[in-house]
Amino acid sequence: MHQSAIAHSHVPSQSKIALVTGANQGVGFQIAKALSDNGYMVYVGSRNWGNGQKAAQDIGGRAQAIQLDVTVPSSIEAAVAQVEKEFGRLDLLVNNAAISHAGKPGRTLEAVMQANRASVASLEEMRNVWETNVFGVLAVTQAFLPLLRQSSAARIVNVSSALGSLTLNSDPSWPFYGSFEVIYGASKTALNAITLALALELKEANINVRAVSPGFTATALNNFQGTDTVEEGSREPVRVALDEDGHSGQFTGPGEVIIPW
């Protein structure tokens, strides 16, 4: 295990402890930076520890890198062990890590969308994407639940997408109507289902669980073809991550709009 970048003895005991997966770039980086700027001790989760370390240095404050590949059980277990050893609890888990496709790199967004359609989608590619976007989220959440239960007011934020909304996808007036596909889009539908299931189950434990959509943000997910900047797309995820009083089981998007499941 890598030596922690910051000695936990320097962190005030009242500080809130957060972990953001896939936080070395894009929306995850912006969420981690906002949390750090607001006094959180933030673990910057990254598959590549070096990339996470650089991101943590760029963020500053009380941010530190933690190696975390959401598809590798031993990586998840090591991350849990590190947080448990250093703080004994986790106040906020942001499940941000996601991939949009696992096929050939360099394709346009349109080419990826076509390849992801239900009639032709590669089941192997579907399994790879769902391994990160769906199973990885649940694996990380299950593993960190004991530490979240040690918090007086724990929260889980799942970074989803309106592209996973079955209600919107079945509405002919929706701008993206007809673009629903089974690899990325349906993975977010499954993530939404997991979010709701967790929100209902953990209500009595006082653990708040929410989903949030960044909007159509220019990130590595879509070869940077999104229409919103990372800063614009991060506004709602950052707001939700910092919001300690929001309703559990809610799915929101840009402008605080409630998105239907």
Burial of 124 (0-12, 13-18, 19+ CB in 10 A): exposed
Query: Among all chains, which residue has been given the structure tokens 């605080």?
Result: 256
Q: How far apart are CA 51 and CA 26, in angstroms?
A: 12
In the chain, which ranges are E strands? Answer: 17-20, 41-46, 63-67, 92-95, 155-159, 208-212, 251-253, 257-258
Active site residues: 184, 188
Q: Is 31 helix (H, G, I), strand (E, B) or coil?
A: helix
- Going 87 to 89 to 95 to 97, the CA torsion angle's sign is positive
